[in-house]
Copies of this chain bind each other. A is one copy, B any other.
Amino acid sequence: MNSSATDNPTIGDLGEFGLIDRVRAQVGQNRHILLGPGDDAAHVSTNDGTFVVSSDLLLEGRHFRRDWSSPHDIGRKAAACNLSDISAMGGVATALTVGFGAPADLPVAWALEMVRGFEDECAHVGAHIVGGDVTESDKIIIAVTAMGDAARPVRRSGALPGDYVAYSGELGLAGAGFATLSRGFRSPKAAVEAHRVPRPPYAAGPQAAGVGATSMTDVSDGLLADLGHIADASGVAIDLDSHTFVVPEPVATVGEALGRNAMDFVLTGGDDYALVATFSSETTVPAGWTRIGQVADGSGVTVDGAAYEGASGHQHFR
């Protein structure tokens, strides 16, 4: 572990504090960050005296693979899934903390590329890393907490019968990309790229909150699974109209190549971090949102009035 430092030092060469120093040099600043990394805690301001916060724990081999994704991509995706949660509350993320576990022989350059990926993804919303922790670990562990400002947080529990359902962002692309990579293929590129680095529609969250969305969540486990969380939390039924979906071209291609129904990816594929929300019937469908279904009395999520007979969304431990 104590190999001498070289032009391409490992984390073990640099040590905990050496690594933290290099990370600090790479991290930016916004008006909310009163004190960034390097002290016992960071100090962050809010606009209205409240903040929203969300955490994710990402593990090598389970949530990402070093042979499939670059460190920059892994950083971007780890940031994206947390920033997306803040957006799904109708908020804008301002600050992140990152807990990082890594083997001592990991090149420092890998960690710094990952941090650059974090900062590049955070640039979409103006957030920065404000703190974290570093420890030695057999495999890479990335624990992210995102904090942000939300004037009117939109919960999962507010959907009402009569509301319509709409989404913004991409559906099925990342799932099709995962299926592609799992079979050892590297194209279609759009799908593979979407698995490596999702493109959440961050601005659509505050936009939906601004026009009074009654409930909202991001699609991380799959559209049906995540709408199931809204249906459960709101005590309502949701029915989707399959004819309203436009299957993205790369998703159709993957479906054909792998002999799978492309709608499976759209309805059950995770990791695209689209936003899905419900709106009162009096609310005009916001620009960039697509209406896909209806809220009614009852429970559960159906497609064209019936349970969907396809693969179900991802759930850990199952």
Contacts and interface: CB of A to CB of B under 8 A. Distances in A.
A240 B52 CA distance: 42
Contact of A317 (B16, B44, B145): B16
Interface in A74-98: 85-86, 88-89, 91, 95, 97-98
Which bracket fits the contact residues of A?
A: 35 or more
Interface of A: 1-2, 11-12, 14-17, 19, 34-35, 38-59, 62-63, 85-86, 88-89, 91, 95, 97-101, 104, 130-137, 141, 143, 145-148, 150, 153, 155-157, 216-218, 233, 315-318
A208 B8 CA distance: 44
A136 B316 contact: yes
Contacts of A217: 39-40
A46 B51 contact: yes
Contacts of A49: 45-49
A102 to B, nearest CB: 9
Given A40-B218, A41-B88, 17 more contacts: A2-B318, A11-B317, A16-B315, A16-B317, A17-B315, A35-B155, A40-B85, A41-B91, A43-B50, A45-B50, A46-B49, A47-B49, A48-B49, A56-B99, A56-B133, A57-B141, A57-B143
A223 B89 CA distance: 42
Given A1-B318, A17-B315, A40 B54 contact: yes
B99 A57 contact: yes
Given A40-B217, A51-B51, A54-B42, A62 B317 contact: no
Contacts of A51: 43-44, 46, 51, 147
A135 B316 contact: yes
Contacts of A135: 57-59, 62-63, 316
Contacts of A11: 317
Nearest to A85: B40
Contact of A137 (B59, B153, B156): B59
A157 to B, nearest CB: 8
A100 B56 CA distance: 9
Contacts of A34: 50, 153
B55 A98 contact: yes
A76 B49 CA distance: 29
Given A45-B50, A49-B49, A316 B55 contact: no
